[in-house]
Amino acid sequence: MTVALMWEARAAEGRGEELLAWARGQALAAEPLRREFFRAPQDRVLVITWWNAAYDAELPELPEPEGELVTRTVHRWRFEAVDPA
């Protein structure tokens, strides 16, 4: 089964590039199948990691950024891949 972990944070105003660089620099305890980075208006950063694992498997996730880099708590979601219709 393929599981996707989504991590989304909103940087403090004007610090979106810094948050993106921070996210790119984070090492995980294991290497995912794939890791993708996205950005959006309002200095938001999204990271999706793909894993070959069960839905409820314990998987490494990006931490909360320290200090005042973000304006709110990080949002996290977990999804499992489904067969195409």
Distance, CA of 55 to CA of 50 (rounded, Å): 11
Residue-wise pLDDT for 50-64, tens only, equals: 999 999 999 999 999
Q: Average per-residue pLDDT in the chain?
A: 96
Residue-wise pLDDT for 24-51, tens only, equals: 999 999 999 999 999 999 999 999 999 9
Distance, CA of 14 to CA of 1 (rounded, Å): 39
Q: Which long-range contacts (CB under 8 A, 24 or more apart) does 33-41 make?
A: 33/2
As a 3-state breakdown, the chain gives helix, strand, coil percent values, each rounded to 5, of: 10, 40, 50
Give the pLDDT score at 83: 86
